[in-house]
Structure 1
Amino acid sequence: MAKSPAIGQPAPDFTLPGVVLADGAAQRGEFSLAAQRGRPLVLAFYPGDETAVCTKQLCSYSSGLDRFTALDATVWGISPQTVESHENFARHHGLGMPLLADTGLEVASAYGITVGKVLRRAVFLLDGDGVLRWKHVAMLGLTFQSLDTIAEQLRRLEVG
């Protein structure tokens, strides 16, 4: 397992396939960290679609997307399931953020959040230059960082 990137360091770059629902239509494509420069990005790594804690987490973030947008931030959910699984999950729960498929756990490994073939729940906050400004990696993954906590970290980034 690679070491998790340090605060103040550039985040590992990646491109992953993903899907986002827009007005009920699924839009599939490639999502590249390098192409996201210019505004803050929240990377929410989660273990699995349609699991209890992950569903609560992603529904919470999706229902609060306007708070992220007000802070000029984008949110991406990343897990090891396929794009098809992500599309079904997004449709079932009305999720509004892109869900990216890290099926081989290469990105999760680059961020140092795998234990064997298991992904640890984690949130990484990147600034507009792709520099890591805040992170939380769960030990057990039975809880998740709240929308309020992430929004507060985004406000601090805005002020700093």
Structure 2
Amino acid sequence: MAKKWAAGDKAPDFELPDDKGGKLSLKAFAGKKLILYFYPKDDTSGCTKEAIDFNGLKDDFTKAGVTIVGVSPDSVASHVKFKTKHDLGLVLGSDETKAMLEAYGVWVEKSMYGRKYMGVERTTFLIDSKGKIAAVWNKVKVPGHAEAVLAAAKAL
């Protein structure tokens, strides 16, 4: 069973390739606030809407001192195509090995039409400047989510 993280827990460290050919790690964000949002798949309806919503509030997050990073098991090439198609300014991390997805407890057994399979449970983490989890949104419903996360980030 996947670990469920809570406010006050130390965020698991990670290192992932990003869509710009660089590396993302929790250590790189030391002293900064971070939104990690996990989503199932590039260019699907819910994931596209979520990315567009976060992207639309990017300036507000930046003013609040928060960086937004989206993570899915898609490849870097898929992320680049997705960002270009939807003109996204967000950083996207690629976790093809699913190590980070498992560490954050978002790689879970899902069920659709009676068929069981492994996939990403849409989840968002707000991590404070000390690397501690400040808030977690599990089983995210996209409408209004980015705004709720922004409100929490501003209050941090």
Fold match by TM threshold 0.5: yes
The answer on whether the counterparts of 2:125 and 2:133 sit within 8 Å (CA) in structure 1 is: yes
Report if the CA contact (8 A) 1:79-1:101 is conserved.
yes
Question: Does the CA-based 8 Å contact 1:41-1:125 persist in structure 2?
Answer: yes
**Which position in structure 1 is the counterpart of 2:152?**
153
Q: 2:141 & 2:148 partners in 1: Cα distance?
A: 17
Task: Write out the 4+ residue segments of structure 1 that deviate beyond 3 Å after TM superposition.
Answer: 141-145
Identity of aligned residues (%): 35
Q: 1:31 to 1:145 in 2, by over 3 A?
A: farther
Q: In the aligned structure 1, how far is the partner of 2:4 from the partner of 2:104?
A: 5
Matches within 5 A, 1:1-160: 1-19=1-19, 27-116=20-109, 117-138=118-139, 143=142, 146-157=145-156
Is this contact kept in 1: 2:49–2:142, CA < 8 A? no
- For these two proteins, the number of residue pairs brought into alignment is 148
Cα distance in 1 for partners of 2:86, 2:70 equals: 14
Q: CA deviation at 1:144?
A: 5.5
Q: Which residue of 1 aligns with 2:112?
A: none
8 Å Cα contact 2:2/2:108 also seen in 1: no
Give the Cα–Cα distance (whole angstroms) in 2 for the partners of residues 149 and 93 of structure 1: 22
Q: Hey, what's the Cα distance between the residues in 2 that align with 1:118 and 1:56?
A: 19
Secondary structure of the residue aligned to 1:134 is strand
Q: Identify unmatched segments of 5+ residues in structure 2.
A: 110-117
Change (3 A) 1:51 1:142: farther
- Provide structure 1 residue ranges, at least 5 long, that are not aligned to the other structure: 20-26
